[in-house]
Amino acid sequence: MNKMKVRQLTITGLMAALVLVGTMLIQVPTPTKGYIHIGDSMVYLSGILLGPVAGSLAAGIGSLFADVFSGYYIYAPATLVIKGLDALVLGYIYNKIVTKDTSISKKIIVFVFSVLAGGAVMVAGYLAYETVLYGFATAVLGIIGNITQAIGGGVLAAPLIIAFDKIKLFQKLKENYR
C-alpha cells in the first residue's frame, strides 16, 4: 500500500486550505440555497498540481469545510464527493494527456476540455443532490449558477496554469511530490 509522505500530506493540506479560502472569499447565494464562489479555480489547480487522487482529497476536504464554516451544512457531505470527483476527473484527464513536452497551446486546450468534463460532473452532481433535497424543478434553477461557477473557476485558474507552467512548477511537483 502506498503511504502518503509528509511532504505530500503537507502540500495536499495546503491546497485544501486554498480551496477553503477561495470558496469562502466571495459567496453569491443561489435560488437553491447554495452559493456561487471562486473556489473552483483552486479545485482545478488541486487536480492538476497534485494529480487526480491527492487533488481530489484536497478539493473535497477544502470544499466540505467551506460549506461547514459558511453554514451550508446540508451541502457538506455532497460537496465532499462532488468536488472530489470534479478534481479527480479534471486531474486525470489533464495529467494523462499533458507531458513536459506538450506545447502551451495544447496544454490550454486540454485544460479547457478538462474543466468542461470536471464541471459537467459538478453540475450533474449538484443537480442530482438538489433534486433529492428540493425536487427537480427547483434543482434545475441551480444549473446556470453551477455552470457559471465551473467556467468562472476555469477562467480564473487558466492564468495560474500558464504561470506555473512557465516556472516549471508542474515538473518540480512531479519530481519531488508524487
Q: Which three cell numbers stand for residue 25?
A: 472569499
Predicted confidence band of residue 66 (pLDDT cuts 50, 70, 90)? very high
- Of the candidates 34, 37, 13, 15, the one whose C-alpha atom is nearest the C-alpha of residue 24 is 37
pLDDT in tens, 141-160: 989 989 999 999 999 999 99
What is the reported pLDDT for 177? 67
Does the predicted TM-score (pTM) go above 0.85? yes
Mean pLDDT value across the chain: 91
Tell whether the model's pLDDT for residue 8 goes beyond 80: yes
What is the reported pLDDT for 57? 97
Q: Per CATH, which fold does 6-176 belong to?
A: Arp2/3 complex 21 kDa subunit ARPC3 (1.10.1760)
CB 161 within 8 A of CB 45: yes
What is the reported pLDDT for 105? 92
pLDDT in tens, 46-64: 999 999 999 999 999 999 9
CB 108 within 8 A of CB 94: no
pLDDT in tens, 73-119: 999 999 999 999 999 999 999 999 998 788 989 999 999 999 999 99
Predicted confidence band of residue 29 (pLDDT cuts 50, 70, 90)? confident
CB 99 within 8 A of CB 74: no
Tell whether the model's pLDDT for residue 4 goes beyond 50: yes
